[in-house]
Chain A
Amino acid sequence: MFEDFSFFPEAASTVAGRVDAIYLFLVVVTIFFVGLISAALLIFSVRYRRGRGHAPEQVHGSIALEILWSAIPLLIVLFVFGWSAKVFFDVRTVPTEGMEVFVTGKQWMWKLQHPTGHREINSLHVPKGQAVILTMTSEDVIHDFYVPAFRVKQDVVPGMYSQLWFEATKTGTYHLFCAEYCGTKHSQMIGEIVVLEPAAYEAWLAGNPAGRNPVEAGKVLFENLRCATCHAAGSGQRGPDLAGRFGEQVRMRDGQTVIFDENYARQSILEPKSHIVAGFEELMPTYEGQVSEDEILQLIAYIKSLSTGDEEPK
């Protein structure tokens, strides 16, 4: 059992080193203060033990000392706060370009889909040196996508999309854990992230059968569900045209503006009444129960492709 033993996890993403730096700094701070307090306790305990028979000296306190030992920790924690907030901001700010992967968590497995249409369960192959952006949701309870080697973690919440991104810097196989307790087989909701050289990744893609890619699948769904009857340009405009709208601000009938993002698209499919775009009527029926989480993701992929123009990646 000592084979793989280590005290420090592998660091295999662009942010891992930055997180480790803060961690190590905090370890040093901790050792310093624990050392300081322990040394003081020890020295005082020995020097002023009762056996030595001296009278205790009554000291009430010292304002100067109080200010000193409030100010020093304050400065340290403010420094740590600023530093880690900066790193956190970068960890959480999803880059605009990257390989988009859809993730659905359910009790007790991970379902992942590549932009090429390749599907995987409990494992994800990614190329080294490229940003990978995960758009994640859950079919049942809250899960959490955690890759220790990348130092990233994000809850996967039913009813909404959360995003996570990483850029792997080292090839290898790394643990994928579910970190939010999700029921009986929580500890078996694990998998692996396989980081490959870009060429090897291409080879892996080529060597595995691809399903329809999400955009294509979404397009088929869009047609089968007859979304285009209302949402295509020039069709009498019963519903807003979706082309070129993704990522933009949309004005609602009640005067609010909403960002047209994944969560907005999802809500509009499942609860069309919740947001009515200015200039339109409440006509759209709900698709709740008619489309699965996977299919909603595909629809969104298609809707997004209408705005980004890269409709057919092929």
Chain B
Amino acid sequence: MSDATTSGRLAHHFESLEQQHESALLGMWAFLAQEVMFFGGLFTCYVVYRNLYHDAFVEGSHHLDVFLGTVNTAVLIGSSLTIALGVRSAQLGRPRATAGFIGATIALALVFFGIKSVEYWAKYEHGLIPGLAWHPEPGASPQLGIFFGLYFVMTGMHALHMLIGLGLMVVVGWRALRGRYGPDNFIGVEVLGLYWHFVDLVWIFLFPLLYLLGRHAH
């Protein structure tokens, strides 16, 4: 452990930076496996009820704003790009660029939240939030509530993951500014990037399932 410690970034219980790096990476992958199962439970519910109540789900999709959804998808994919550039800057040892790209990712995430709030607010005004403001038009499918229940749980859980990601980005961005990462030690940024890509990926599944599927039917 002699030379590696010189960077001062090696935790006491690791032998080398490579080992530390490998652990963190593996840990994050294991955590993401957990996330897949977490959202998997929700996707199972979605598939079951979509099969049972096809019409209600098609009807539900028509209440969602595809335009805003598409913009949000683009925003989120953009944020995946900026975080990837952030990881690259960290690898190249450019702390200011790293912090800058993380800042850009934060900004894009905030845009996403802004648009999402507009959508949520519209649902509130139309009375499409089960339990809080639920007065769908007469003649609506009786199972529309299940669609919107799943919509809010799925997008809500996704938003919660983004919030956690935001918190992490503030911390990692700050540490990047203080020069805590370098070419031999950028695992913090890399792991954050992995997490953010996963959050992005969840949305890539949510968007077509909730907004697009079945829209061609009517």
Contacts and interface: CB of A to CB of B under 8 A. Distances in A.
B174 interface: no
Majority SS at the chain A contact face:
loop
Interface in A169-205: none
A273 interface: yes
A112 B53 CA distance: 32
Contacts of B142: 271, 286, 288
A70 interface: no
**B interface, how many residues as a size bin?**
under 10
Contacts of A288: 142
Contacts of A6: none
A291 to B, nearest CB: 16
Interface string B43-72: 000000000010100000000000000000
B34 interface: no
Interface in A276-309: 286, 288
Contacts of B53: 274
Nearest to A282: B55
B190 to A, nearest CB: 43
B141 interface: yes
A286 B53 CA distance: 15
Nearest to A270: B142
Contacts of A273: 55, 141
Contacts of A286: 142
A288 B55 CA distance: 18
Contacts of B141: 273
Contacts of B55: 273-274
B166 to A, nearest CB: 41
A49 to B, nearest CB: 42
Interface in A88-124: none
Nearest to A271: B142
A273 B58 CA distance: 14
A288 to B, nearest CB: 7
Nearest to A286: B142
A149 B55 CA distance: 46
Interface string B128-172: 000000000000011000000000000000000000000000000
Query: 4 closest A-B pairs (Cβ-Cβ)?
Result: A271-B142, A273-B55, A273-B141, A274-B53
Interface of A: 271, 273-274, 286, 288
7 contacts: A271-B142, A273-B55, A273-B141, A274-B53, A274-B55, A286-B142, A288-B142
